Amino acid sequence: MGKYHDVHAASLSDPEKFWLDAAQAVTWSRAPERALDDGNPPFYRWFPDGRLNTCYNALDRHVAAGHGDRTALIYDSPVTGNAARYTYAELLDEVARFAGVLRDLGVGKGDRVVIYMPMVPQTVVAMLACARLGAIHSVVFGGFAAKELTARIDDAAPKVLICASCGIEPTRVVPYKPIVDEAIAASARPPEKVIVLQRERLRAEMGERDLDWDELMAGAQPAPCVDLAATDPLYILYTSGTTGKPKGVVRDNGGHAVALSWSMAGIYGIGPGDVWWAASDVGWVVGHSYIVYAPLLVGATTVLYEGKPVGTPDAGAFWRVISQYGVKALFTAPTALRAIKKVDPDGREIAKYDLSGFRTLFLAGERLDPETYHWASAKLNVPVVDHWWQTETGWAVAANPVGVELLPIKPGSPTLPMPGYDVRVLGPDGAEVPRGTEGAICIRLPMPPGTLLTLWGDDQRYVESYLSRYPGFYLTGDSGYLDEDGYVYVMGRTDDIINVAGHRLSTGAMEAALAAHPAVAECAVIGVSDPLKGQVPKGFVVLKSGVEIDPDRLRDELIARVRQDIGAVAAFKEVVVVDALPKTRSGKILRKAMREIAAGKDIPVPSTIEDPAVLDRLRPLLRGRDA
């Protein structure tokens, strides 16, 4: 057995010892004597007797240890032309003072704070300030529309909302404040105050509940860290639900700090002083785990990048950042690599930069296609490591643990399960299927530290969504198989969530937007393969009887509706008018059959179908051809 196998086996055979040993990487105000509380399954809790503060572990302890001059955060913004560096001492000062701002507004332990911000240092400051006070932050991606923001406000009931006046894209400025105002106006549980970071590119009009970030910080007094139980919530992060109502994933303080600390060293091979870059957004789980918390927990330098892989200014943007700041490892999505490859297929931009300090490229967020893997491997000449995880898990379920042992890479597989993850592939009857056979990828309970505790305010939905299908197992919602060596292969979603450029989005929510159009009788949205984004949504609509409408006008109106309700991040651009949708005899639309045909599978006509001719007429359209 190699090192990896010893580590993984130890985590499953004696999780108590394994995770208490891992917990020594964290500074506790009261060190835990127990790792797992399994007294109320399926609601497992890690380090139930431990106490700590996540912000203290990310900042204060490094300064106290004499590392205050080490660079904590590098901000690089090609869309504004600005860049900045913050040492650990400087970042601690900003965070402590903003925590004082929140404290003076009445924010304390257990209160919620919604953060609707772009990729600027103040976003990191706001998150860590909440952690400092024991307040529960909920970051909402700045690309989401007002309707989506309202849903999250209503669920979290924040005391304060923090936003910027705008986000800045390569070709446009996105006003955030009007979206926030619209969302609050529609909210049943609006925040008491809104803190606005005014950006020079577009300053927002202020209302009665609005407060200026800079003015508040000018007179702020620092707040100390609040001592918290390891089991106290750190944040809520919403992920798409098939019902259209977002699911608020709850993460704790103790298990989160221990798991992320282990992952930085064990999976990514990153330690104190190393420069690390997760090219994601703080609105997604990658930004939470690997832009903000994990690198700071281990004393590394994290890069915060406000730009794109191409167009800011060219396809060499990523290589420029790696070269300029001495990045040791980059974590991004395959979509970013495909965008770069499309513009610079020969890798000429790569040759312009000194990448001698670059060691590893990590990819996640969607399935890594072999073509992109081979291109990146050949052009960068470093290990290209695919890994697989979810918003719910918070860190990798399957990966190649570079910090423990670089295992043989198999293109198409995110390699092997990480510590604490007992991955099984189950059939419809709940029994394990043979190696090489596709089924539902599940994780035997309890899952390791750092994974979701429950859904915010809805334990029952947590159980129904993830734990009821196969008792004793967490249902990932992905299908796939294990090969003869135990390598994990993830083939796709088993539900109606699609993955657009690493963003999990609900097709059900898109269908709701289409169905609201007065001309539409019924509709279906499926994810179809896209060479750049991995998946994009494609809509099929049936018009109401007797309706006559110009096809181009209808298409434009439907696209606009999805953009308004979901946001531009949905990348909804394809919609087709059809005479009928394939249904079962009970009236359920056969979305799975539609997805499989669109993916090129030659499936037989389902036995439950009401009218086989409908599916036959649809096949050419699903495969991108004219009927």
Residues of the chain with pLDDT > 90, as a percent, come to 75
User: Quick check: 308 pLDDT over 70?
Assistant: yes
DSSP strand pairing (82-87 vs 329-332): unpaired
User: Quick check: 627 pLDDT over 60?
Assistant: no
Whole-number pLDDT of residue 366: 78
Whole-number pLDDT of residue 1: 41
Domain 3-307+387-444 has CATH 3.40.50.12780: yes
| CA-based nearest residue to 291, from 124, 445, 448 | 124
Pair 446, 439: CB distance under 8 Å? no
Helix (H) or strand (E) holding 303, with range, is strand 301-305
Domain 500-622 has CATH 3.40.1180.10: no
Q: For residue 180, which amino acid is it?
A: V
Angle of helix 551-565 relative to helix 507-515, nearest 10 degrees, comes to: 130
pLDDT tens digits, 318-370: 999 999 999 999 999 988 898 898 889 889 999 999 999 999 999 998 778 78
pLDDT tens digits, 109-135: 999 999 999 999 999 999 999 999 999
Tokens of 169: 């894209």
Look at 590 and 398; give whichever has higher pLDDT.
398
Q: Which residues are CB-contacts of 173 (< 8 A; sequence separation ≥ 6)? A: 166, 167, 201, 202
Distance separating alpha carbons of residues 288 and 292, to the nearest angstrom: 6
Judge if the upstream peptide bond of residue 295 is cis by omega within 30 degrees of 0.
Answer: no
Mean pLDDT of 240-257: 85
| CA-based nearest residue to 161, from 215, 209, 91 | 209
Distance separating alpha carbons of residues 309 and 337, to the nearest angstrom: 8
Q: Which range, 469-473, 500-504, 570-574, 606-610, is most confident?
A: 469-473
Helix (H) or strand (E) holding 264, with range, is helix 254-266
DSSP strand pairing (112-116 vs 160-164): parallel
From-to residues of CATH 3.40.50.12780 in the chain:
3-307+387-444
Q: Which residues are CB-contacts of 305 (< 8 A; sequence separation ≥ 6)? A: 76, 77, 119, 277, 279, 321
pLDDT tens digits, 513-561: 898 898 988 889 999 888 888 889 999 998 887 888 998 999 999 999 9
E-strand spans in 450-533?
473-482, 488-493, 497-500, 503-506, 520-530
pTM of the model: 0.87
Helix (H) or strand (E) holding 229, with range, is strand 228-229
pLDDT tens digits, 568-578: 888 899 999 99
User: Quick check: 248 pLDDT over 70?
Assistant: yes
Angle of helix 146-156 relative to helix 551-565, nearest 10 degrees, comes to: 30
| CA-based nearest residue to 118, from 106, 126, 109, 107 | 126
pLDDT tens digits, 380-415: 999 999 999 999 999 999 999 999 999 999 998 999
Angle of helix 370-380 relative to helix 334-343, nearest 10 degrees, comes to: 70
Pair 195, 129: CB distance under 8 Å? no
Following DSSP, what letter does each residue of 139-196 receive, concatenated? Answer: E--TTS-HHHHHHHHHHH--SEEEEESEEE-SS-EEE-HHHHHHHHHT-SS--SEEEE
Q: What torsion, rounded to 10 degrees, do the Cα atoms 51, 55, 61, 63 define?
A: -160
Distance separating alpha carbons of residues 542 and 563, to the nearest angstrom: 20
The DSSP output letter for 29 is S
Whole-number pLDDT of residue 241: 60
Q: Which 3 state secondary structure label does DSSP give 210?
A: strand
Angle of helix 177-185 relative to helix 146-156, nearest 10 degrees, comes to: 60
pLDDT tens digits, 1-37: 469 999 999 999 999 999 999 999 999 999 999 999 9
DSSP strand pairing (193-197 vs 160-164): parallel
How far apart are the two ends of the chain, measured CA to CA in Å? Answer: 56
Helices (H) and strands (E) in the chain, counts: 20, 31
pLDDT tens digits, 142-161: 878 899 899 999 999 999 99
Distance separating alpha carbons of residues 127 and 141, to the nearest angstrom: 13
Q: Enumerate the β-bridge partners of residue 482.
A: 488
Q: What torsion, rounded to 10 degrees, do the Cα atoms 397, 400, 401, 404 define?
A: 140
From-to residues of CATH 3.30.300.30 in the chain:
500-622
Tokens of 61: 């302890």
CB atoms within 10 A of CB 144: 24
| CA-based nearest residue to 448, from 5, 8, 90, 94 | 8
